[in-house]
Amino acid sequence: MRIVVCVKEVADPDRVNELAQGRFLRVDAEALDLDHEHIGAVMNGYDEQAITVATSLRAASEECEVVALACTSRPPEQLLRRAMELGADRSCWVRLAAPLHSPRSVAHVLALGVQFLGGADVVLCGHQASDDDQGVVGPLLAAQLDAAFAGDVHRVEPGRESTLLLHRRAAEEDVVLEAQRPALAAIKDDAWQPPIPKAMHILAARRVAPLEVTPEQIGVDFQRVAGWESGVERVGFELVESGGDCDIVEGDSLDDVAAALVARLRGSGVL
Amino acid sequence: MAKSPLSIAVVAAGGDRDDAMALASLARRLACEGGGTVHALATGDSDDVRGLAAVLAGALAATPADVVLLPDTPDSRILAALLAESLDAGILTRCTSVARSAGGFEVACATYGGVARAHYRLRAGDHPWVLAVDAQAITGSGETDPVPVIDVAAPAATSHVQVLSRQARQPSGLAGARVVVTGGGGLRSEEDYRRVEQLAELLGGVAGASKPAVVRGWARAEQKVGLTGARVSPDVYIALGVSGASQHMAGCARARVVVAVNIDRRAPIFAHATYGAVADVNTLLPVLIDAVRNAR
């Protein structure tokens, strides 16, 4: 069985929040994006969760490999090394000439990347990326690959015959779905904590270089991609201002502070 | 350049139908500029979202649309993507405003967890667009003429997936709660989170959680408020030991009054709060509970 995990590098969301907290976030007026100068890049958190799910599925399966797949214009050395440290067996980079902005273009390239790798029984994506928050590449990719799809999945197990069990945490219920392979799951696990990388995986991450392929090699339809990319143009970018005029209650003791809060709650009509 | 007439479809699926119908006024407004028509497709829930998208795409083939609007909820976002693929359409989600412009649309989308907004120009005419729009962010909504609704039967079982088991979880009660009291990473222990629940109960409200309280196992996943959790719109939102990361604030931005308690005066939650206290929430909480109890 082959599991392909799609991974993406994003601006470190913790750092973005930290800078937002101090009102130090800046806009890159030329790129129409955040100014990334003081923001590091990390693997998207949901993609890390997806690799954890993939390695658990590998442990429960026979003859199974986990391949991390990235399509980006910037060399994703750190990203794919991280994927290997988390337990991926190998990695593949589709080397783009320029970043893609349309999720349809991204899904097209990733689908061809999966096919170039020999196909996949399971494709895992993060629930969404923490930069654009769009959350649509997974379902788009499932449709391109004609794969079963489920979102909000936190665990995948081998099922009977050629099926997979997708454990899905929906809004109000836990659902176990039996999906035919190939299947694609968008991973989201609110209780996930980063695993400590094993020494063997850290060593493998240093030893095994990513497979590097070009869009031409995998058969990207450039006309199609150009159509998607030209249909959407980013024309502005702004930071969202928050209020900032909080009424801070004070007091000489905790009792005073609590009394002041109670008075405000009364004024708000909840007491 | 003159604006050409548009055909706009609003898709209302399952539990997102109310939000979808709120988009009808946006659709009417867009259609009014340059003329056009609006219709809605209503359907139920399905565990096979690909099957659901296929039947909706079939219905849209019979009543073609230049723009398909869906509410920006987790389930509808997935449906939007699958519809975009079926219709060979462009797609954007997290839209907070949509307006027509010469040759297309101007759309704003929340990004980076809500700390920023990106503005896009979409070209119309080459292909349809599927837009997932935050119904609560659309201003100017109001009563509009009824929109013709086409009912589309949701698929029961398909070849893609089968449901093996289904277990209802205790509902969080966050949707529609008048008061929400949320505990976050500033809490020291599960006992402190239980006090958050106690305060919520005293105020006739519901307990929520930010990500750290869920990760530590004190609160259930469905109690998480935020970009990838519940979106709440209470009269009063009390954030206890919550830092106020943008991903969390995206879930409570519609609260009328935000009350914050945090030991760090620089915590971003205070930038969103109506009023608050700079204090160690763990020591203040028992005192606050007593004060609320005495005030009732």
* pLDDT beyond 80 at B17: no
A29 touches chain B (CB under 8 A): no
Burial of B200 (0-12, 13-18, 19+ CB in 10 A): buried
* pLDDT given for residue A244 in this prediction: 67
Nearest CA in chain B to A244: B271
* pLDDT beyond 60 at B2: no
Confidence of residue B205 (pLDDT cuts 50, 70, 90): very high
Which of A140, A192, A265 shows the shortest C-beta gap to B85? A140
A226 touches chain B (CB under 8 A): no
Q: ipTM value, please give it.
A: 0.90
Please tell me the distance from the alpha carbon of residue A219 to that of residue A94, in angstroms, as a whole number. 11
Residue that is written with structure tokens 């070209």 in the block: B123
Confidence of residue B140 (pLDDT cuts 50, 70, 90): low
Q: Which A-chain residues 5-24 have CB contacts (< 8 A) with chain B?
A: 11, 13, 16-17, 20-22
The structure's pTM equals 0.89
Which residues in chain A have Cβ-Cβ distances shorter than 8 Å to B275?
Answer: 246-249, 261, 264
Average confidence score pLDDT of chain B: 89
* pLDDT beyond 60 at A251: yes
pLDDT per position as a tens digit, B172-199: 899 889 999 999 999 999 999 999 999 9
* pLDDT beyond 90 at A116: yes
Please tell me the distance from the alpha carbon of residue A118 to that of residue B73, in angstroms, as a whole number. 34
* pLDDT beyond 80 at B152: yes
Q: Does the beta-carbon distance from A130 to B112 stay under 8 Å?
A: yes
Q: Does the beta-carbon distance from B15 to A244 stay under 8 Å?
A: no
For the ranges B30-34, B48-52, B256-260, which has the lowest average pLDDT?
B30-34
Please tell me the distance from the alpha carbon of residue A64 to that of residue A51, in angstroms, as a whole number. 14
Which of B110, B161, B259 shows the shortest C-beta gap to A133? B110
pLDDT per position as a tens digit, A145-157: 999 999 999 999 9
Q: Does the beta-carbon distance from A265 to B203 stay under 8 Å?
A: yes
Vertex B218 angle, CA B171 and B273, to 5°: 80
Neighbours of A214 (CB within 10 A): 12
Q: Does the beta-carbon distance from A232 to B90 stay under 8 Å?
A: yes
Q: Does the beta-carbon distance from B112 to A34 stay under 8 Å?
A: yes
* pLDDT beyond 80 at A266: yes
Vertex A162 angle, CA A157 and A164, to 5°: 25
A143 touches chain B (CB under 8 A): yes
* pLDDT given for residue A198 in this prediction: 94
Of B96 and B139, the one with more pLDDT: B96
Distances (CA, A) of B286 to A131, A147, A263, B121, B208: 39, 52, 17, 52, 18
Of B254 and B5, the one with more pLDDT: B254
* pLDDT beyond 60 at B34: yes
* pLDDT given for residue B103 in this prediction: 85
pLDDT per position as a tens digit, A213-225: 999 999 999 999 9
Pairing of strands A122-126, B275-278: unpaired
Q: Does the beta-carbon distance from B78 to A151 stay under 8 Å?
A: yes
The H or E element containing residue A233 is: strand A232-239
The H or E element containing residue B236 is: strand B236-240
Written as one letter, the residue type at A204 is A
A267 touches chain B (CB under 8 A): no
* pLDDT beyond 80 at A241: no
A234 touches chain B (CB under 8 A): yes
* pLDDT beyond 90 at A97: yes
Which of A172, A247, A271 shows the shortest C-beta gap to B169? A172
For the ranges A63-77, B103-117, B125-139, which has the lowest average pLDDT?
B125-139
Please tell me the distance from the alpha carbon of residue B163 to that of residue A66, in angstroms, as a whole number. 26
A167 touches chain B (CB under 8 A): no
* pLDDT beyond 60 at B122: yes
Written as one letter, the residue type at A165 is L
Share of chain B above pLDDT 90, in %: 60
The alpha carbons of chain B give a radius of gyration, in whole angstroms, of 22
Please tell me the distance from the alpha carbon of residue A109 to that of residue A141, in angstroms, as a whole number. 9
Question: Mean per-residue pLDDT for B130-156?
Answer: 80
pLDDT per position as a tens digit, B222-254: 899 998 888 898 999 999 999 998 889 888 988
Q: Does the beta-carbon distance from B228 to A227 stay under 8 Å?
A: no
* pLDDT given for residue B266 in this prediction: 84
For the ranges A28-42, B52-66, B127-141, which has the lowest average pLDDT?
B127-141
pLDDT per position as a tens digit, A6-50: 999 999 998 998 888 777 899 999 999 999 998 999 999 999 999
* pLDDT beyond 60 at B141: no
Nearest-CA distance B148 → chain A (Å): 28
Q: Does the beta-carbon distance from A173 to B74 stay under 8 Å?
A: no
Helix orientation angle between A137-145 and A103-116, rounded to the nearest 10 degrees: 50
* pLDDT given for residue A161 in this prediction: 87
pLDDT per position as a tens digit, B73-113: 888 999 999 999 999 999 999 999 999 988 889 999 999 98
Nearest-CA distance A252 → chain B (Å): 12
